[in-house]
């Protein structure tokens, strides 16, 4: 998607500077050909799976429509995401409603739309969903989100399947929740769901997840529940550091196939970051270069308002200049907001830059634009799709 020609950064065959000419900075830039490549690779690895793209990662309508055209469904967690999925052309039966605090309005909308699956996050949620379903007189396919109590290696904010987490049903309540669903007139227990964390780059975490999922599948079947769909969530890590450490869908396919050998289950997947992270960048413009305390601070016009991940998770994103030059030195790229945490990246190798120059923050396609905010009364960043 990115390449230098004659010292100038090009994106999908066009100079970045030309693309940026009509855009206010900061802005997001997405590549459709890069999205197609990743979507096709994922589909080839999992030809039969129910792939529900996690809308929280990116909900640009052009990208959503493209993913729907690739046959992907949607993992949604709010009314807004539910409507985005329908607007993108996702058939209701490919939509999965997730969330630990689904309101009655959200449940009612999903039930009326007849989404494919509603994942229950708590045994306490069973009567609420059952009541809305009976008011609507519609039978509802549900799955149980199980919290297996696994510690996975990622930032603590991105760990959601560990003991003590507020997500999912703890192991000692799963069978009770399953019985409650079985006893509810309009609910049908069809699935189980495990999602234990995000940005996991170690295949071993997925080995453990797959074993847990298979164990729960057999346990629930043995208790008489006709589980058909096993949803193994998302969490596939990408290569933020540029070190070649990215989860390979082909490896995951082998792991899940081994865990469910001989069973006729339908696998559901909810990848977000892996599909869209590497296909987007954030373009920012240099406002001022300050030399102080023995450091060089390159202040740009978009920071934690446009891309919150570095401030919130100490996430590392590589930054490239629009134009190469010499000498390359290490600088801190800081945002414009009045917070010490508003640092996009430290020790970034950059050539000399000056006011007006463009920089691109890599791997910003997931949880970038969707987490942007209006802190310090700055406008939300727009996006440009190329391809
Ligand atoms: N399924 C469920 C139930 C989830 O909670 C999530 C993400 C996903 C799927 C998609 O996970 P992915 O494949 O994208 O890792 N804002 C954070 C990430 C939070 C992820 C929350 N749940 C970040 O910027 O890294």
In this structure, the answer to whether residues 127 and 37 fall within a common structural domain is yes
Distance 195 CA to ligand 1 centre (A): 9
Map residue 169 onto helix, strand or coil. strand
Mutation test residue for ligand 1: of 63, 75, 272, 309, the one with most atoms within 8 Å of CB = 272
Q: Residue 157: what pLDDT?
A: 67
Which of 138, 60, 91, 118 has its CA nearest to residue 366? 60
Packed helices 174-183 and 125-136: angle between N→C axes, nearest 10 degrees: 20
Which residue is associated with the tokens 């997947």? 269
Distance 272 CA to ligand 1 centre (A): 6
DSSP 306: T
CATH number for the domain that contains residue 189 = 3.20.20.10
Distance 34 CA to ligand 1 centre (A): 20
Index of the ligand 1 atom closest to the CA of residue 367: 24
In this structure, the answer to whether residues 205 and 229 fall within a common structural domain is yes
Which of 366, 296, 287 has its CA nearest to residue 328? 296
Question: How deeply is 226 buried, as exposed, middle or buried, from its count of CB atoms within 10 A (0-12, 13-18, 19+)?
Answer: exposed
Q: Residue 155: what pLDDT?
A: 72
Query: Rounded CA gap, 338 and 342, in Å?
Result: 7
The count of structural domains within the chain is 2
Query: Rounded CA gap, 242 and 100, in Å?
Result: 34
Under 8 Å CB-to-CB from 240, ≥6 apart: which residues? 199, 315, 316, 317, 318, 362, 363
In this structure, the answer to whether residues 99 and 202 fall within a common structural domain is yes
Q: Atom 6 in ligand 1: which residue has the minimum CA distance?
A: 234
Index of the ligand 1 atom closest to the CA of residue 155: 25
Mutation test residue for ligand 1: of 270, 306, 314, 363, the one with most atoms within 8 Å of CB = 270
In this structure, the answer to whether residues 203 and 350 fall within a common structural domain is no
In this structure, the answer to whether residues 195 and 306 fall within a common structural domain is no
In this structure, the answer to whether residues 46 and 129 fall within a common structural domain is yes
Mutation test residue for ligand 1: of 67, 152, 234, the one with most atoms within 8 Å of CB = 234
Distance 58 CA to ligand 1 centre (A): 11
pTM of the full structure: 0.97
Q: Residue 133: what pLDDT?
A: 98
Q: Residue 359: what pLDDT?
A: 98
CATH number for the domain that contains residue 379 = 2.40.37.10
Q: Residue 160: what pLDDT?
A: 66
In this structure, the answer to whether residues 128 and 256 fall within a common structural domain is yes
**Which tens digit of pLDDT belongs to each residue from 106-152?**
999 999 999 999 999 999 999 999 999 999 999 999 999 999 988 77
Q: Atom 5 in ligand 1: which residue has the minimum CA distance?
A: 195
Distance 208 CA to ligand 1 centre (A): 18
Q: Which residues line ligand 1 (CB under 6 A)?
A: 54, 57, 75, 98, 158, 195, 198-199, 233-236, 270-274, 309, 313, 366-367
Q: Residue 165: what pLDDT?
A: 87
Q: Atom 19 in ligand 1: which residue has the minimum CA distance?
A: 158
Q: Atom 23 in ligand 1: which residue has the minimum CA distance?
A: 367
In this structure, the answer to whether residues 269 and 319 fall within a common structural domain is no
Distance 90 CA to ligand 1 centre (A): 20
Residue finishing a domain among 247, 276, 305: 276
Which active-site residues does the annotation give?
338
Question: How deeply is 45 buried, as exposed, middle or buried, from its count of CB atoms within 10 A (0-12, 13-18, 19+)?
Answer: middle
Strands of 162-241 (E only): list them: 187-193, 229-231
Residue finishing a domain among 216, 245, 276: 276
Q: Atom 7 in ligand 1: which residue has the minimum CA distance?
A: 198
List Cα–Cα distances, 108 to 75, 103, 133, 332, 334, in angstroms: 17, 9, 8, 48, 44
In this structure, the answer to whether residues 76 and 23 fall within a common structural domain is no
In this structure, the answer to whether residues 18 and 166 fall within a common structural domain is no
Query: Rounded CA gap, 204 and 41, in Å?
Result: 21
Q: What is the pLDDT along the chain (387 residues), one digit of tens a residue?
A: 999 999 999 999 999 999 999 899 999 999 999 999 999 999 999 999 999 999 999 999 999 999 999 999 999 999 999 999 999 999 999 999 999 999 999 999 999 999 999 999 999 999 999 999 999 999 999 999 999 988 777 777 666 677 888 999 999 999 999 999 999 999 999 999 999 899 999 999 999 999 999 999 999 999 999 999 999 999 999 999 999 999 999 999 999 999 999 999 999 999 999 999 999 999 999 999 999 999 999 999 999 999 999 999 999 999 999 999 999 999 999 999 999 999 999 999 999 999 999 999 999 999 999 999 999 999 999 999 999
In this structure, the answer to whether residues 293 and 380 fall within a common structural domain is yes
In this structure, the answer to whether residues 271 and 286 fall within a common structural domain is no
Which residue is associated with the tokens 């570095």? 310
Structural domain for 346, as ranges: 2-29+278-386
Residue finishing a domain among 276, 303, 327: 276
Q: Atom 8 in ligand 1: which residue has the minimum CA distance?
A: 234
């Amino acid at each position: 998607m990115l390449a230098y020609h004659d010292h100038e950064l090009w994106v999908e065959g066009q100079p970045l500077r030309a693309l940026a000419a009509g855009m206010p900075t900061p802005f997001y830039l997405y590549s459709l050909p890069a999205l197609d490549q990743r979507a096709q690779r994922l589909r080839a690895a999992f030809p039969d799976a129910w792939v529900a793209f996690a809308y929280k990662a990116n909900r640009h309508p052009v990208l959503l429509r493209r993913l729907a055209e690739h046959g992907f469904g949607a993992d949604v967690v709010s009314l807004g995401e539910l409507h985005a999925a329908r607007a993108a052309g996702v058939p209701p039966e490919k939509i999965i409603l997730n969330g630990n605090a689904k309101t009655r309005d959200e449940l009612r909308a999903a039930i009326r739309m007849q989404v494919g699956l509603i994942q229950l996050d708590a045994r306490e949620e069973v009567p609420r969903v059952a009541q809305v379903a009976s008011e609507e007189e519609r039978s509802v396919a549900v799955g149980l989100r199980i919290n297996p109590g696994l510690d996975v290696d990622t930032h603590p904010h991105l760990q959601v399947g560990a003991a003590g987490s507020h997500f999912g049903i703890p192991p000692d309540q799963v069978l009770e929740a399953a019985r409650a669903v079985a006893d509810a007139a309009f609910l049908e227990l069809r699935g189980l769901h495990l999602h234990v964390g995000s940005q996991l780059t170690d295949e071993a975490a997925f080995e453990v997840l797959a074993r847990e999922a298979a164990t729960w599948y057999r346990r629930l079947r043995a208790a008489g529940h006709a589980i058909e769909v096993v949803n193994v969530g998302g969490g596939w890590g990408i290569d933020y550091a540029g070190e070649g450490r990215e989860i390979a869908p082909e490896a995951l396919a082998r792991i899940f196939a081994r865990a469910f050998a001989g069973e006729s289950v339908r696998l559901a997947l909810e990848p977000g970051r892996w599909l869209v992270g590497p296909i987007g960048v954030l373009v920012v413009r240099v406002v001022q270069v300050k030399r102080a305390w023995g450091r060089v601070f390159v202040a740009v016009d978009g920071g934690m308002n446009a891309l919150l991940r570095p401030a919130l998770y100490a996430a590392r994103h590589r930054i490239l200049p629009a134009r190469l030059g010499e000498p390359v030195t290490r600088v801190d790229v800081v945002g414009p907001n009045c917070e010490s945490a508003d640092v996009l990246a430290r020790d970034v190798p950059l050539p000399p830059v000056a006011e007006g120059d463009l920089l691109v923050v890599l791997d910003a396609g997931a949880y970038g634009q969707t987490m942007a905010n209006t802190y310090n009364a700055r406008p939300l960043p727009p996006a440009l799709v190329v391809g």
